Structure 1
């Protein structure tokens, strides 16, 4: 293997523990001695956070998730351990959401540091093909997917939240939650069945066959129910079932895009007709 140049070395494998400590140092350290840090202001305004549940402080959440810190003299130092990629995602998601507990006017005081930590988080997430997306009033880390980005821009907000949720990193392996999301997507497409059939009949048949035979709308694993039992699906491993669920999800996204394109094609056809009539 040839010698790496400067830029290739800069893009070497990310050390998640080091990245966590770098980002957390921006949160913990004040601009200069005696001033509030980002951490201080998160703690100050934590009481106003609508999702605080039974937590009394931000520090309590840090302790619960293992992202603690201690003091070396007057300097705060991160004390948590990042053991895997999900730990790092948990930390980043926590920090991004907590920053927005600080009122906008107060955030301006920390603007330079907030911009820097967001730059680091965005770079690291992009390295792992993930990104931060705002879903309602929450900020979630989801896997990057061009189809998802296109679809959430053309559907109503409530459906966009559902579609984005499917790609959230914590849902990997959670078949029950994924199934519930697929049911909601199928329900949104149900009234458009005739349109879908007219656009792509094979996709229409395949999608609704899978929805009805892969334990999404019906119990297809009960051998005593001869009308719904699917022996093929029943014998799949959990990993194989999840792969099918992900395929069905992608098919649903494709249908939304095709429906949007039909509307666009109709508009173009109308323009052509108007132009043709004008020439007569």
Structure 2
């Protein structure tokens, strides 16, 4: 017999978040859009990147952290999933509801799934919480395997030195992304890039090399395997032969930093 975690299924409330074209454009620039990407950075023809939704919903894992589910100094954002239900408008407001999904017992740690739902998207954060396991629950499914074999496409994914400082203005102001002392406390030489920024930047690059439009994402997922420092250039490997979209991973100096990545665009076949 396994015991469910007391927080499994807990209601995290609802929230309406408002945004305008400036917020969506700032986000696009932060994840790597250029001045020539007019439908991402020019308000007269703006299409909102679907991953922008994740900044609107950042409040939900913060609510659970505020209830003491994990130690914010040691918890890690382990994985992210996003399902797009309808395109986000260029400006407006989004009503979201949030709850705790599954809570998995990994022995020395727990993994909390935080699920956010709106008319536009469904998103799930998986938070790895050291020291919170051992409650008698199920270990959960095995970690998805990364693609094997020779990639169909290999390209680079550049980041830039000010990217974390810019991206944090979209909502996630955790100190490890801006404060050298906070980064040093987790063993990093300098502030690290947000995992969600790396994931969104990868989507932009994948769209560019596969001929898709980054605003046409229907489904996205990935695991954050290692930190990325702003300014690093990642190796991006794609497997495009599957019927469920493109599988991908990002590597730096031989170390995987983003694994088990999958993205499906509206025009995928």
TM-score grouping bracket, smaller chain normalisation: under 0.3
Determine which structure has the larger strand proportion and give its number.
2
Greater fraction of residues in helix: 1
Determine which structure has more spread, i.e. the larger CA radius of gyration: 1
Tell me which of the two structures has the higher relative contact order, counting C-alpha pairs closer than 8 angstroms and 6 or more residues apart.
2
- TM-score (normalizing by structure 2): 0.25
